[in-house]
Amino acid sequence: MGALGIREISKNYGAVSVLRDICLDVAAGEFLTLLGPSGCGKSTLLRIIAGLERQDAGTVSLGGRVVDGLRPKARDVAMVFQSYALYPHMTVAQNMALPLKMRRLSPWQRLPLVGRVLPGTSAAVAGIDAEVVRIASALGIDHLLARKPGQLSGGQRQRVAVGRAMVRHPAVFLMDEPLSNLDAKLRVQMRSEIKELHRRLGVTFIYVTHDQAEAMTLSDRVAVMLDGEVLQVAPPRQIYDDPADRRVAEFVGSPKINMLDVRVRERGVLDLAGSTLFVDVDCAAGTALVLGIRPEALQLAERAGPGTLSGVVRLSEHLGSDIFIHLDVPGSSEPLVARLPAERAPHVETGQLVHLGLRAERALPFAQDGRRLRTQATVMPLREYAR
Amino acid sequence: MTVSAEPLRAERLIAGATVSSRRRARLADAIAAYALAGPAFVLLLCLFILPTFAVFVIAATDWQFGASTINFVGARNFAELLADRAFRISFANTVLYVLIVVPGTVGLGLVLALLIEAGRSLRAFYRAIHFLPFMATLAAMAIAWEALLHPTIGLLNQALATLGLPTANWLRDEATVLPVLAAIGIWQNLGFAMVLYLAGLKSIPQDLYDAADIDGADSWLDRLRAVTLPMLGPVSMFVVIVVALKAFQTFDTVKILTQGGPGHASDVLLYTLYRESFEYLRTGFGAAVTIVFLVIVVTLTLIQARVMERRGPYA
């Protein structure tokens, strides 16, 4: 039984359709990331799961139970917000205690003065306080309990927000861009802390981000969303190596994947404005395709010839371990980017003509409508064709 | 050696020249600064500092407006003030007036803002109509109130009589006059408090309400207690002080509707000040009242400045 099931969720704001027929199944204990650019509907989907917003169609089930129409507090989910949404007038301890107070104390017991003298209040409050201290020390924020959010740094606030989510022991953690307000260094550190937290708690995490590095490093599976649709749900490695859609390939990967307009000459042979490439796509001769080539799928070749691309270096960026070279290639409107290992790349100068070979097994052909096309496992050997 | 000494001497000459020219430039800057700030300072001196100083001096004399004699009397005006029954009543009335108007305005303003914010339609209309009394001239509005409250032909008494309820001579009865004036004060300032609260409500991040929903504080009352009221704290502080300042300065309604009567039942500080200074022409005594008034207003203003400086208590 899955932790979370989403069936044909749709959501419109007026005439604007934000989510269209979203289906997702998340296993218990899984770390699933919703990855997409801003405005793709990922946060809306998270808010629908949380119960903060109602879908126009479809159902959400948590732990096998349909939760449509249930208020957020009844759904056994906790959420960490991008802004952390800590109550600024409460101390860290009060912030973390609130979810428990709302659960364990009756409305009368929560009254400011009267509540304290009611039977059972002091025992319940002591239990809550102990729980808060326990969670706070697990997160390393127990020395901050008496402070207010305004006196904390970004990373500390982030931890408090996580702590407030943890005290309730929810079955599902929802995180809405929790690291995007932190500086780059802290973001990397908090990323590993979240990964560690997930490993330790073993509960389901649904994590929304637009940052592919976060999605790739944290997730068991990534759901790539674009324009209100889930394009692909797969482990990070597969999202990168085996994208199901042109938009997925273009969104994931930095530097961006190269996209070249090619035409099938014959089985296993593609034409690109004067160059010939050997990629075996099962298409009729004359079909126009888009060939996706990751920058690292290109390698330097000694000389021009069939199976290579030639171009003039426009820019070369030395990053220590790698060199990115940007080439003007005939037939491509955008410069082609190749990522070469620094030790195997000779000195490349701007304006120089270089030749690049393509690792055919890494080529990603797409149909004109963006659908991914399969390549054949056997690729015609280069030498054989040249003969 | 001689070769290297030459440029060294030249350098020193240049350095000396720059030091003296720099000093001259600094002096010119200072003169320009004083010249530019001068007119503003003179205005400040003539319009604020000297008159205030004059009030303190006059308060220590027995001068009467237009009189040719003036004698230094020390703190006698203040002693007289403390012993004066009329002044004590006036002071107590003012405090009572403030104690009714401030909570009334703040409480009703908040309720009004919450209601307007909760409703979907006609928001702009409600906002405008409640803000109107604050924008209008209170002197003119006071006359409308006088007509409403007229003992025989006033709308209020006629309505009460129609319903079979007891009527009253609202502005001529010692028991009702101050509460009625306070009610008019609330009516006038309500829109101001409401507008500030509306702005305050708008600035509360939606995330906090979402967090409260998830944490289980999702009933109307819990949301109010966990998010809305605490987040309106800074606004409330500001509203309380500004309304208190305005309430301490109330004058128009008293002057137009009651002239402090019946007896001294609706005497307030500013009206006493006016009467002593400009009707009885006891300028020295009036100056002493002014100083009492000044102390209250300045204290409130300082608190307000401090609150605004902190920009909310949660930073």
Q: What is the pLDDT of residues A274-306, one digit of tens each?
A: 788 888 888 888 888 899 999 999 888 888 888
- What is the interface pTM, i.e. ipTM, of the complex? 0.82
- Minimum CA–CA partner of B229 in chain A: A89
CA separation for the pair A358, A342 (Å, rounded): 18
Query: pLDDT tens for residues B99-113?
Result: 999 999 999 999 999
Domains of chain A, earliest start first? 4-247 (3.40.50.300), 257-386 (2.40.50.140)
Assigned token pair, A125:
């409050």
Residue A335 class from Cβ within 10 Å (0-12 exposed, 13-18 middle, 19+ buried)?
middle
- Are A99 and B214 in contact (CB < 8 Å)? yes
Q: Between chains, do B314 and A50 touch, taking CB under 8 Å as contact?
A: no
- Please tell me whether the peptide bond between A112 and the residue prior to it is cis, using omega within 30 degrees of 0: no
**Residue-by-residue DSSP string for chain B:** -HHHHHHHHHHHHHHHHHHHHHHHHHHHHHHHHHHHHHHHHHHHIIIIIHHHHHHHHHHTB---TT-S---B-TTHHHHHHHH-HHHHHHHHHHHHHHHHHHHHHHHHHHHHHHHHHH--SSHHHHHHHHHHHHHS-HHHHHHHHHHHH-TTT-HHHHHHHHTTPPP--TTT-TTTHHHHHHHHHHHHHHHHHHHHHHHHHHTS-HHHHHHHHHHT--SHHHHIIIIIHHHTHHHHHHHHHHHHHHHHT--HHIIIIITT-STTTT--HHHHHHIIIIIS--HHHHHHHHHHHHHHHHHHHHHHHHHHHHTSTT-
List, for residues A60-92, the tens digit of each pLDDT value.
999 888 999 889 988 889 999 999 999 999 999
Closest CA in chain B for residue A51: B214
A375 within 8 A of A366, measured Cβ to Cβ: no
Give the pLDDT score at A386: 44
Which residues lie closer than 8 Å to A61 by C-beta, 6 or more apart?
A4, A5, A7, A67
Q: How far is A156 from chain B (nearest CA, A)?
A: 15
| Residue in A72, A86, A90 nearest the CB of B213 | A72
**CB atoms B216 and A87 under 8 Å:** no
d(CA A38, CA B292): 61
Helix (H, G, I), strand (E, B) or coil at A226: strand
CA distance B299 to chain A (A): 27
Q: Which of A85, A87, A98 sits opposite B210 (nearest CB)?
A: A85
Rounded distance between C-alpha atoms, residue B161 and residue B206, angstroms: 49
Q: Work out how many CB contacts closer than 8 A connect A with B.
A: 66
List residues in chain B touching A: CB distance below 8 A. 205, 207-208, 210-211, 213-218, 222, 226-227, 230-231, 233, 313-315
Residues of A in contact with B237 (CB under 8 A): none
- pLDDT digits 0-9 by tens, A22-64: 999 999 999 999 999 988 999 999 999 999 999 999 999 998 8
Q: Do B211 and A85 touch (CB under 8 A)?
A: yes
* Banded pLDDT at B218 (limits 50, 70, 90): confident
Is A81 close to B230, i.e. CB distance below 8 A?
A: no
pTM of this structure:
0.78
